[in-house]
Structures are given as structure tokens and as C-alpha cells.
Amino acid sequence: MKNEINTNVNDENKKTDEPVKAITDAEARVTRPLEKKEKSYKVRCRRPLLLLAFCLSTIVKAYAQDPALPPTNLGLANIYDGVAGKPGFIYQGYAQYFQAHQLNDGFGNNTHSDLKVNSLLQMNQLIYLSPVRVMGGKLGFTVIVPFVQISSSRLNNQAQAPTVNPGVLGDVVQGTAVQWSDKKLFGKPFSHRVEFDINVPVGSYDSRYNINPSSHVWAYGIYHAFTLMLNDQISISSRNQFNYNSHFIGQKSKAGAYYNGNYSIDYSILKSLKIEAAAYYLTQFNQDSYDGGSHYYQGKYGIDDTKERVFGYGPGLAYFAPNGTLIEAKVFFETAAKNRFEGTRPTLRIAIPLSK
């Protein structure tokens, strides 16, 4: 369920230094007001289905001109991501804490802002893999319900931090998938899945706050996840997702389309214990737009580049219990961020088969 702070201008004539409505999920994104020729910086402290996860992203813009991306999956599921098990119900739970270290501008430079927006995500996912066959695979469905607690602060006590909605319910995600298991690729065991997801904006949102748990936008994503067993000890997994955003509800602003991917390679040190090297990457394809104009924020506010980017990497451990339960723990360190916060992201995932 898309690691995740979204703030958007409701009125084209809204003043630059006026606080803007925020849209959030599990991360944060902030943009500073323009002063003369100074550029606006947008931030995101930031948002995982059939072994699919959505990193709830809190999009926070305290004083923002352009919109921020809605929540997306940033490292919630890595190891064995393409594996779904036998038909039946599966529960997956996720916990992810994001601690912001610095806010980067559109050139990837540290803005040295004293603003910090942190978030704690707890997400619940119910998966049903049916015996119904479609295109040689099994049809599956998933529902994700996230809860996120967000905090914002400034080191300079004289400056006001963005206001945060005390509500904790994030947007619900519904996914429909086709899962292919026990296939072969290059003669190696190969499992993979294609899934289409819809972000339903039913979470906590109040325009009086700068930061909200809901992204306040209908968003759509399609991804392909796979796991390839190289041998009895080593496997690689990846998820590659492409996302499209509609206009923010009641507004003319629209965030650009973007890609996010999760990657991992693991090694068995014991029969039930694996170590892994994991990573994620997010990059926005096109500029944010307003009323259909893709150069609106460049022309009106002097924001040369509204596109976001971030790369996270880190170690992980995975334990496979005798009853089929999977516990995965890892920590990500972010780098190369643009137009968003850069920080660390400890992550915990548990998958429990509910059907015998």
C-alpha cells in the first residue's frame, strides 16, 4: 500500500505565502514560500497486496505552491514479494517509521530547513487468492487499511510548524491481481504477479490542517512483482509499479505520473533465516500541472522542476516460521532525494496464512 504529505492550492489566485491545504498518508512533503526570486522547495517525509504492500506516504506541504505525490510503496515488501502461497486468505501487517533528516530542493541540495516531519505507519492487509484461473494464473484480491500518526516540529521555536490532522485513518487501497506460481525462468523456479490498484480517498482529511492522513485524490497503479530462486540459498525479488494520479478533489492541481520499485537479493544462513540487501526507488516522470498546464508552476512561481525522486537502501532479516508465517525486518537509508525529505525508514512486515 503506496512509504508516505500532499498539499495543494485550491484557488489559482491564492497568495504564495498563504498556508495551503495538505494531503497526506505516511510521509511528508513541504514547500517553502517564495520570496522574490527564491525557489519553492517541496518536501515529503514520507507511503504497500498479494504479498503486495503500500507504503503510506504523508504528503506535507506547509506553504506550498505545487502538489505532492500521493502515497506509494517504499520498501514495505521485498523478500519473496512475487510469492503468494496456495489459494486462501492471507493477512499481512506492516509497521514503518520515517524519520526526516533533511529537506532537499529540486536540484537534490539540502535546504537546511529546520522543519522535521516524521510519521509512524501501521497498515493492515487482507489478501484472498482464489482457485479461479485467469490467463493461466490464479485470480486474487486485496484490501489495505492504513493508520498513520504524523508529527511536525521546528528547531526554531519562533517559527510555526505545519498543523497536523489528529485523525489517523489513511486512504483504503483495493487491488485485483493475477498470480502465477511455480513457473520456470531460465530453468529456475519463478513466481510472479500483475496487479491493478485503486487508492480510494476515504481517510481523515480536513482542509484546516496542513498535513492530513488522506491524500485526497483518486490514484491508480499497476505493478509486476516477481521472485526468482537462483538456487536453494539465494533468491531475488522485485516489484515495478507505474502510477497515475487524478486531480486532487475539488482542485485544479494534479501531481505527475511516477514509478516506484522495490528490489532485494537474499541468502539463507539457516533453513528458516535469511539475510537480505534491499532497496527502493521512486522517480516522477512529468511535471505537476494546474488546470492542464504543465508549465504553470514554473511560470507563476518560478519552480523550475516539480518532479520528485528518492533512493533507499539497507540490510534486512527474514524469518520463516514452521506454520508458514513470514517476519521481515529491515532499515532503509535514503539518498539522492529531490523535492522531498530524506531520512531513515525502519520497516517491519509479517505475513500470516489464515487458511489451512
User: Along the 356 residues of the chain, how does pLDDT read in single tens digits?
Assistant: 444 434 333 333 333 333 333 333 333 333 333 333 333 344 333 332 233 333 334 444 333 567 888 888 999 999 999 999 899 999 999 999 999 999 999 999 999 999 999 999 999 999 999 999 999 999 999 999 999 999 999 988 778 889 999 999 999 999 999 999 989 999 999 999 999 999 999 999 999 999 999 999 999 999 999 999 999 999 999 999 999 999 999 999 999 999 999 999 999 999 999 999 999 999 999 999 999 999 999 998 888 899 999 999 999 999 999 999 999 999 999 999 999 999 999 999 999 999 87
What does the block give as the cell for 64? 506550498
Amino acid at 320: F
Amino acid at 211: I
- Contact assessment for residue 227 and residue 253, using Cβ atoms and an 8 Å cutoff: no
Query: Which residue ranges form the domains of the chain, and what is each CATH number?
Result: 6-353 (2.40.160.40)
Dmax (CA) of the chain: 65
Give the whole-angstrom CA distance, residue 56 versus residue 352. Answer: 21
Give the whole-angstrom CA distance, residue 315 versus residue 298. Answer: 39
Instruction: Output the pLDDT for position 30.
Output: 37
Cβ-based neighbours of 102, under 8 Å, separated by 6 or more: 110, 111, 112, 113, 341, 342, 343
Strand partners, 111: none
Amino acid at 332: F
Count the Cβ atoms, other than its own, within 10 Å of residue 172. 17
Instruction: Output the pLDDT for position 8.
Output: 38
- Contact assessment for residue 52 and residue 78, using Cβ atoms and an 8 Å cutoff: no
Phi and psi torsions of 109, nearest 5°: -95, 145
- Using DSSP's 3-state secondary structure scheme, residue 24 falls into coil
Number of helices (H), then strands (E), in the chain: 1, 16
Instruction: Output the pLDDT for position 71.
Output: 80
Give the whole-angstrom CA distance, residue 278 versus residue 316. Answer: 7
Length of the chain, please? 356
Q: Which of 135, 229, 123 is nearest to 176 (CA)?
A: 135
